[in-house]
A = this chain, B = another copy of it.
Amino acid sequence: MSLNFPEFPDDSALGTNFKYRRFIQLALHGEMELGNTDISYPYTIDVLKEGYSIVQEGGSTSNACGTITLVKGPHNIIVDTGLPQDKSLILQGLARHELTADDVHYVVCTHGHSDHVGNLNLFPNATFIVGHDISKGDEYQLHDFKQGIPYEIDAYVEVIPTPGHTRGDVSVVVYRTCYGTVVIAGDTFEKFEDLEDSDIWQNNSELPEDQEQSRIEVFKLADYIIPGHGPMFKVPDEFKHEVKIVRTPTE
């Protein structure tokens, strides 16, 4: 199954270059024939491990692990690989979907911290996107995330730069899921609570101003966010309004 989105020369006015939006725009404007197109949900999302972070009394230690997510569909994608000790958990999670590590096409790590990159070597056939670096075997493909350019895995999944937590952070955007658009955001969002208590994310941010902007970009895109250290949450309406976004209805 594939959707070939025609180029839409005048889409600069949409304020985004994301293809799903083009698709919806085109469809709504009757400029695209949907007759032979499969419009079911091409991807399902399963959080294999819900991340957490707990600062211990006294503040000198904390317990933490990053969220591990499977995006299953035309490409099988693991987003973040947890702590080194999470190997079995990942393999068991894949097995629940009748997949093995060999079936994983992409591994995306939102950034290079040790609770997100613990298990890269499980996936012999994968292309790796770890922060801004894209590799397969020892071959690295240059891609200009620094200029804000998304990397398209296919028409439904993009990796976008979301600098701030580290300079090289990326997030994964999955369009047309049963939740609408889901952004797997790594530590750009620590957890739902950081929407109200900004210390939670700012205390771990290399570049807080950049991260603030990245968070706004994610709010614009996302119906749901999977954060790095907490459960998936729906973006509250007031956060959509606060960033003054006029969205095109997606269904």
Contacts and interface: CB of A to CB of B under 8 A. Distances in A.
Interface of A: 59-65, 83-87, 109, 111-115, 117-124, 126, 128, 130-131, 133, 135, 137-142, 166-168, 206
B84 A121 contact: yes
A133 B121 contact: no
Give this chain's copy count: 2
Contacts of A113: 112, 130-131, 133
A225 to B, nearest CB: 23
Contact of A120 (B114, B126, B135): B114
Contacts of A118: 120-121
A130 B112 contact: yes
A61 B131 contact: no
Given A114-B135, A131-B113, A167-B206, A140 B61 contact: yes
Nearest to A126: B84
B128 A114 contact: yes
A75 to B, nearest CB: 18
B114 A130 contact: yes
A65 B137 CA distance: 9
Contacts of A131: 112-114
